[in-house]
Chain A
Amino acid sequence: MKNRYEMRFSGSGGQGVILASVIFAEAAIISGINAVQSQSYGPEARGGMCKAETIISRDSIDFSKPICPGFLLALTQKALDKFLPETRENAVIVADASLNIPENAGNKKLVLLPILKTAGEDIGKAFTANIVAVGAINSLLGLFDRETLTEAVKRHVPPGSEALNEKALQAGYELVDRQMAESCRVYIV
């Protein structure tokens, strides 16, 4: 079977989880690694369950959806409850610190981080939560180098908002300490 690293980003429509997923795909492409990104959401533009997925592989990628994700970002309780059971054993789960860990979470690496609070209070813009999450996730998983990620973010945010997003990205990085990150490293082979 081909090697593939499957990431799922979930939350509520408008939280920017699709963009977070696109940024990881972009970073992979910049790094010369294959990536396929897709999403599913309801008919409403805001609110409602939203999930986005990025598959990263050095092989060609056929099926565009995760078979059993090795990573999950959950920004709402509903998303965490629904998608946690679908992740594989030892998967890394990043959930917002405001969420409750479901019982029988199984053998997963659950990391609770104050993503929404950091965006809303420290950065002062709640809509930067997705970029805070991107920084935290990459810091945790060590997928791409910092410059690559910055470039990927830059390619997908509106002109003029680069500084704000860079600040959010950095704040995300700082949410993760080294010890936490050591147990979550991912290598794309």
Chain B
Amino acid sequence: MQGNEACVEGAIAAGMRFFAGYPITPSTEIAEACSVRLPQVGGHFIQMEDELASMAAVIGASAAGAKAMTATSGPGFSLKQENIGYACIAELPCVIVDVQRCGPSTGLATAPAQGDYQQARWGTHGDHPVIALSPSSVSETYTLIIRAFNLAEKYRTPVIFLTDEIVAHMREGIEIPDPESLEICDRRVAGNDGAYKFAYRVPEGQIVPGWKPFGEGERYNITGLFHDYSGFPTNSNAMAQEEGSRLLDKINNNLADIIQVDEYKMEGAEFAVVCFGGTARAAAFAVDAARELGIRAGMWRPVTVWPFPEKELEEKLSGLKGIIMVEHNYGQMLREVSRVAAGRVKVEFIGCIDGTIIEPVRILDKLREVHENAK
């Protein structure tokens, strides 16, 4: 199965029943597969006129209660940013798949890259919460997209699924988990707890306000403006403070639940290769080769790429003599890693923006070099 197909199958298993998008390489197979699969499961697929409209349609579907997704690549991801901010403040869960490709603008349309990492964090304006996940295999694409929906519903926030051409266009065998074994999280519906008087007030003991189908029952408003508990716009500075900080806190206070890191041979490792997404394939290969040469190397890979797993990296630093950051960009996650490791562990960098894939030998050579220098 191809990475993009696994993305669709996983999303459907998670309960996705609405997709709106505008096809773009290397994400096109996602729209294609949704157009076939969604009608089969009673869902809806719409090819919209552009990326802005598809993001808007996804927000509307979410307001109406559907688990909704869109998929795009860099140029389209830029266009979706404004409406992603709307979904953040209106707290409408949805999943935005960005299959990263090479370059700014149209770039190298069919070539791999990971240059949207910082955009995933800061692409839309204003202080806003972000959860972004990045898979490194076809199997993980399947399971992680389910997690993306679960987190979106639980925290009522857009989740960015930051994959890349390497994984999205790769085909490999996967074992589809038994649907019974999957943990599926649906949004908490207000009214069950009797707290639905105000659509945007968080009941005692809850992380987010409960949701009620828009247009049914009680009247409330959805807006991109800072709003009061009933959802109507307000100019109150106190309300802006309360709501703005609540949006950030619902993520920041639950990092242990949201953050996921994958480790490979990190036990006793002196040198950590840090990477995310498809880059992990070359990194794992290089780690194996280095271990055969007697270099104690391991791989440390954020699966949750935003929020960046600071505490988790922090905990690894004491045993390390060196870190090699490997990513298909000019040093975007490097900023985060360097900030955490500053003054404690030296961070080397391998990047790539020419549309090729970083080969294991480049990583192995760097590992040999840092190993030699550390003697």
Q: Which residues of A come within 8 Å of B, CB atoms?
A: 1-2, 22, 25, 29, 34-43, 61-65, 67
Of B166, B170, B173, B285, which is within 8 A of A29 by CB?
B173
How far is it, in angstroms, between the C-alpha of A83 and the C-alpha of B284 when the chains are bound? 26
B320 at the interface (CB under 8 A from A): no
B166 touches A38 (CB 8 A): yes
B282 touches A25 (CB 8 A): no
A61 touches B172 (CB 8 A): yes
Interface size on B, residues (CB 8 A): 22
Q: A1-B289, A25-B172, A63-B284 are in contact. List 9 more A-B contacts (CB 8 A).
A: A25-B171, A36-B170, A38-B169, A40-B110, A43-B25, A43-B110, A62-B285, A63-B282, A63-B360
A67 touches B173 (CB 8 A): no
Q: Report the minimum CB–CB distance from B229 to chain A (whole Å).
A: 50
Tell me which residues across on chain A come within 8 A of B169, comparing CB atoms.
Answer: 38-39
Question: Residue on B with the closest CB to A36?
Answer: B172
Task: Tell me the interface secondary structure of chain B in the complex.
Answer: mixed
B171 touches A65 (CB 8 A): no
Question: Residue on A with the closest CB to B280?
Answer: A62
The tally of CB-CB contacts under 8 A between chains A and B is 54
Q: Which residues of B come within 8 Å of A, CB atoms?
A: 25, 109-111, 166, 169-173, 278, 281-282, 284-285, 288-289, 292, 357, 359-361
B170 touches A67 (CB 8 A): no
A40 touches B111 (CB 8 A): yes
Tell me which residues across on chain A come within 8 A of B288, comparing CB atoms.
Answer: 1-2, 62
Tell me which residues across on chain B come within 8 A of A1, comparing CB atoms.
Answer: 288-289, 292
How far is it, in angstroms, between the C-alpha of A22 and the C-alpha of B292 when the chains are bound? 32
How far is it, in angstroms, between the C-alpha of A38 and the C-alpha of B171 when the chains are bound? 6
Of A34, A41, A63, which is within 8 A of B110 by CB?
A41
Tell me which residues across on chain B come within 8 A of A64, comparing CB atoms.
Answer: 166, 170, 172, 278, 281
A65 touches B359 (CB 8 A): yes
Q: Report the minimum CB–CB distance from A178 to chain B (whole Å).
A: 32
Most A Cβ at <10 Å: residue of B109, B111, B173: B173
B285 touches A63 (CB 8 A): yes
Question: Residue on A with the closest CB to B173?
Answer: A29
- What would be 12 A-B contacts, judged by CB atoms less than 8 Å apart? A1-B289, A2-B288, A29-B173, A35-B171, A36-B171, A36-B172, A38-B170, A40-B110, A61-B172, A62-B285, A63-B282, A64-B170
How far is it, in angstroms, between the C-alpha of A39 and the C-alpha of B284 when the chains are bound? 20
Tell me which residues across on chain B come within 8 A of A41, comparing CB atoms.
Answer: 110
Question: Residue on B with the closest CB to A38?
Answer: B170
How far is it, in angstroms, between the C-alpha of A25 and the C-alpha of B171 when the chains are bound? 8
How far is it, in angstroms, between the C-alpha of A36 and the C-alpha of B172 when the chains are bound? 5
- Top 5 A-B pairs ranked by shortest CB distance? A63-B285, A37-B171, A62-B284, A62-B285, A29-B173
How far is it, in angstroms, between the C-alpha of A37 and the C-alpha of B172 when the chains are bound? 6
Tell me which residues across on chain A come within 8 A of B292, comparing CB atoms.
Answer: 1
B281 touches A67 (CB 8 A): no
Q: Report the minimum CB–CB distance from A142 to chain B (whole Å).
A: 22
Question: Residue on A with the closest CB to B171?
Answer: A37
Tell me which residues across on chain A come within 8 A of B25, comparing CB atoms.
Answer: 43
Q: Report the minimum CB–CB distance from B366 to chain A (whole Å).
A: 16
A62 touches B172 (CB 8 A): no
Tell me which residues across on chain A come within 8 A of B170, comparing CB atoms.
Answer: 36-38, 64
How far is it, in angstroms, between the C-alpha of A143 and the C-alpha of B282 when the chains are bound? 26
Question: Residue on A with the closest CB to B264?
Answer: A62
Tell me which residues across on chain B come within 8 A of A67, comparing CB atoms.
Answer: 359-361
Q: Report the minimum CB–CB distance from A160 to chain B (whole Å).
A: 18
How far is it, in angstroms, between the C-alpha of A29 and the C-alpha of B172 when the chains are bound? 8
A34 touches B173 (CB 8 A): yes
Question: Residue on A with the closest CB to B109?
Answer: A43
How far is it, in angstroms, between the C-alpha of A29 and the C-alpha of B292 when the chains are bound? 29
Of A2, A35, A43, A65, which is within 8 A of B172 by CB?
A35
How far is it, in angstroms, between the C-alpha of A17 and the C-alpha of B172 when the chains are bound? 17
Question: Residue on A with the closest CB to B172?
Answer: A36
Question: Residue on A with the closest CB to B25?
Answer: A43
How far is it, in angstroms, between the C-alpha of A34 and the C-alpha of B174 when the chains are bound? 10
